[in-house]
Amino acid sequence: MIFRGKFSAPMLISVTLALSLVLWLIYEIASIYESTAAKRNAMEWTIESVTSRRLHPGSPTLDQPQVEILKKELKKELSPLFNDMDTRQNLLITVLAMGVALTSLVFIAWTYALRNKELQKRLETAMSRKTEVDEIGLAAAGLAHETKNPLGVIRGLAQNIADNPKNPDTAREKAREIMEETDVTTARLGDFLSYARIRSPKPQDLNAKAHIERMAGLMADDFKNADIALKVDVAPLILKADPDMLAQVIMNLLSNCLKFTSAGDKVEIVLRSSKRGLATLKVADSGEGIPPDLLPQVFKPYVTKSTGGCGIGLAIVKRIADQAGWNVQIKSKHGKGTEVIIADIPVATAGE
């Protein structure tokens, strides 16, 4: 609401004076109108009385032409008085209109002043909260980073136990389990650090076809082993993008596709020029899709989970896209597949 702020004394005084002026002008105009009407009636009565000998019974009777001439002469003599009254009334009406306009302008200015003050306060609150969230994120990222170091030590000790043939088989098996859990935890910490990282994009001319095909090639064996068809259909464009950020987006999307598809499914990467100066990247799969109740929440960390995953891949993609200035959308039908769209990627030129 626009009236939540406090009313300043100067604003209240201005509004009060403007309203008082308007009310006074209305009163004056009403008084002049009433007085003018009464005097006009008196003039008409006087003219009629004179011409009909009501004021001078002993005067000679006038014929009709003389009566008309007398009426015109009387009206001519009295008209300046009424013209002055009309002028004054018109002047007051003009001033009244200006007063109403002034009051409206004061009210509008006051309304916008209050609204701007409230919006400024909301902006300051939002910036303060953002700063707090950033600080918490940095603290959490620092904690995660420091946690990885002792995990590395634990894994190294476990590996020494597992590789020593003099140790009992039971101890060596437990050591291998410790190594596996340590690897999983380290990977999750890496994902979290990737999500919490504040990136400064460094765009450069990037051969989209070569870059995306190289990223897909790094995971080609994983898709082949899972019996999932991977197709890359990239237009020959030169993008203006940060290579590392685009690579992270593609790798996270492909990794997500692996987790939510099965043998016989298909995954396709498509890049096209969408409109002048921009391109759109699509990564689609024919996997299990996303349940409708989870779809609005998929870009939040740890909402969706799969075997071997912690549910942060799409959150990382969204965060990178926001930092790079791209627009990310998702379309999915449960049981039919999912399509992630990265739009508004700047294009430098068309490649060959």
Q: Is 311 helix (H, G, I), strand (E, B) or coil?
A: coil
- Non-local (6+) Cβ contacts of 349 within 8 A are 205, 237, 238
What gap in Å lies between CA 267 and CA 249, rounded to an integer? 15
Of 327, 322, 315, nearest to 194 (Cα)?
315
Could you tell me how many residues make up the chain? Answer: 352
- Non-local (6+) Cβ contacts of 351 within 8 A are 207, 208, 209, 236, 237, 238
3-state SS, 204-242, equals EEEEHHHHHHHHHHHCHHHHHHCCCEEEEEECCEEEEEC
What gap in Å lies between CA 161 and CA 36, rounded to an integer? 114
Q: Is 339 helix (H, G, I), strand (E, B) or coil?
A: strand
Q: φ, ψ for residue 279 (rounded to 5)?
A: -130, 160
The pLDDT of residue 243: 92
**CA atoms within 13 Å, Cβ hemisphere of 335:** 0
**pTM exceeds 0.85, yes or no:** no
User: What is the per-residue burial (b if ≥16 Cβ within 10 Å, else e) of 336-351?
Assistant: ebbbbbbbbbebbeeb
> Which secondary structure element, helix H or strand E, spans residue 312, and what is its range?
none
Q: φ, ψ for residue 244 (rounded to 5)?
A: -65, -40
**Segments making up each domain of the chain, as ranges:** 9-130, 145-196, 204-350
Instruction: Report which DSSP code applies to 295.
Output: G
**204-350 fold:** Heat Shock Protein 90 (3.30.565)
In sign, the C-alpha dihedral spanning 175, 177, 179, 185 is: negative
Residue-level pLDDT, tens digit, the chain, 352 residues: 444 445 556 556 666 666 676 666 666 666 666 666 666 666 666 656 655 554 445 555 555 565 566 566 656 655 665 555 566 666 666 766 676 676 677 677 777 777 787 788 888 887 777 676 666 666 666 666 677 678 888 888 888 898 898 899 888 899 889 988 888 777 777 767 766 666 788 999 999 999 999 999 999 999 999 999 999 999 999 999 999 999 989 998 998 898 889 999 999 999 999 878 899 999 999 988 888 888 888 888 776 655 544 567 888 899 889 989 999 999 998 888 999 999 999 998 765 5
Contact 278, 346 (CB under 8 A): yes
Of 305, 352, 325, nearest to 315 (Cα)?
305
Distances (CA, A) of 330 to 45, 88, 289, 292: 87, 70, 11, 12
DSSP E strand boundaries for 77-236: 204-207, 229-234
Distances (CA, A) of 140 to 102, 196, 269: 56, 8, 34
The pLDDT of residue 280: 94
